[in-house]
Amino acid sequence: MPTAVAVTSPELVLPSPDRHTPPAAILQSAEPGERGGSLDRTLAEIHTLVEQHGHVLVVHPAAAPPALVHRLHAARAALETDRLALVGVDLPPLGTALLALQLRQLSICDFSPGVLASAARLLAHYLHAGAVLGSVARLDQVPVGLKAHAKSWLPGSQFAVLARPEPQLVRLSGDQDPGLKAPGFPTRLVVAEGGLPAERVTGALARAWHVREVTPTKLPAASADWWGTSKLTEFAAAIPDISVLYQLVSSVRREECHWCGLELIGDRCAFCAAPLPPPGERGRRALPATRPAPGRLRGREPAPALARTASAAAGRALPAARDPRLAPALDTGAAPPGAPQTPAGPTGGPATGVHALRPAQREAPADWGPHRPYEDPHQPPPPPRSRNPRP
């Protein structure tokens, strides 16, 4: 069963380009209105997806309402699972939908869930998202100069804006090429027409960018708020070939997360959000004994793949602590000859935490005599004995 890719709105679902691409899971509880806003429904939906697919990637816009993001994090914490990745995407709405489609295409490949979730940041760098706007007076996602802001109040003014990967703003005049920086690779262009006609994007821009295919779609409702105007035509261009996407992701070096044990690419795990350790400390893992096994749900055993990962991690030596006082407690290897013995814990094994900081009991030296009896401080001391015996 491939890793499930879920979205927070049906407007973030683009049609599958082939019959092999799995559909996206839509979180109904994340929609605004009477049907949404319930933590119980979010818990039930995510729990069902995790039970069916093993791992779930929830793709949501970075500009989503804070209540929605908090509810997703609360659901992840309540389920006590590391098999849910919350992927926040800092792209326009149409670009977010196109990125979710690429993740759906790669989910049927042999990538592990950690690599697939980490690939979202990599694929976002190769995605070009922009729009043709009738006004930039309320645009705050791209830097707008004072001259362009003043000209946006003129009747009939139009601007071509590129938000990702590099911000660019050009004032349009006539039917010539907008002059936006083109991708250096073949792309598929997805166009969503709003209050402005899409001929400028499907004509001059598509010819200048050497687009292979133009796909029209419906404009997401969140596009007007993101771009600051309802008179727009949004577009997004990305790599269309799944074989090229596979080579792009597989060419990146993979690392193992030192916290949850999943594979990742980049500098941060998308499932547990743990950063990649420095190069000198990679290859070490230190999982606390009180932490549940990776991928464990409440009342459910971990998946076989994660169980093997946890068992392999159990046989590894824990790294030495930075605090020298805690070094004997965290070092599971044999103590060198002549070293003091590690104090025993309450269960009989090596002491950890507070027990490791307690001083170990020392044996009395051989020259110590018997313990003196208890002396009352209010009683006078006994008379001293004479060393010379009586005749």
Q: Which residues pair with 130 in a beta bridge?
A: 162, 235
Threshold 0.85, pTM exceeds: no
For residue 161, give every residue at least 6 positions away whose Cβ sits within 8 Å of its Cβ, in sequence order, or none. 130, 131, 132, 133, 136, 139, 142, 167, 168, 169, 170, 227
Using CA atoms, how far residue 16 sits from 28, 62, 104, 249, 302, in Å, is 20, 24, 9, 20, 32
Q: How far is the first Cα of the chain from the last one, in angstroms, to the nearest whole number?
A: 105
> From the CB of residue 368, how many other CB atoms can be counted at a distance below 10 Å?
8
Helices (H), 129-251: 146-151, 199-200, 206-208, 223-227, 242-250
Residue matched to tokens 């489609």: 101
User: pLDDT value at position 292?
Assistant: 42
CA-closest candidate to residue 164, choices 61, 267, 59, 245? 61
For residue 173, give every residue at least 6 positions away whose Cβ sits within 8 Å of its Cβ, in sequence order, or none. none
One pLDDT digit (tens) per residue for the chain, 391 residues: 689 999 999 999 999 988 899 999 999 887 665 444 588 999 999 999 999 999 999 999 998 889 999 999 999 999 988 899 999 999 999 999 999 999 999 999 999 999 999 999 999 999 999 999 999 988 998 888 887 777 777 777 889 999 999 999 998 877 777 889 999 999 999 999 988 989 989 998 999 999 999 999 999 999 999 999 999 999 999 999 999 999 999 999 999 998 889 999 999 999 998 998 887 666 554 444 334 444 443 333 444 443 443 344 444 433 443 443 333 333 334 444 444 454 444 444 454 443 444 444 444 444 444 444 444 555 565 665 555 555 4
> From the CB of residue 11, how many other CB atoms can be counted at a distance below 10 Å?
21
User: pLDDT value at position 357?
Assistant: 40
User: pLDDT value at position 383?
Assistant: 61
For residue 296, give every residue at least 6 positions away whose Cβ sits within 8 Å of its Cβ, in sequence order, or none. 80, 81, 302
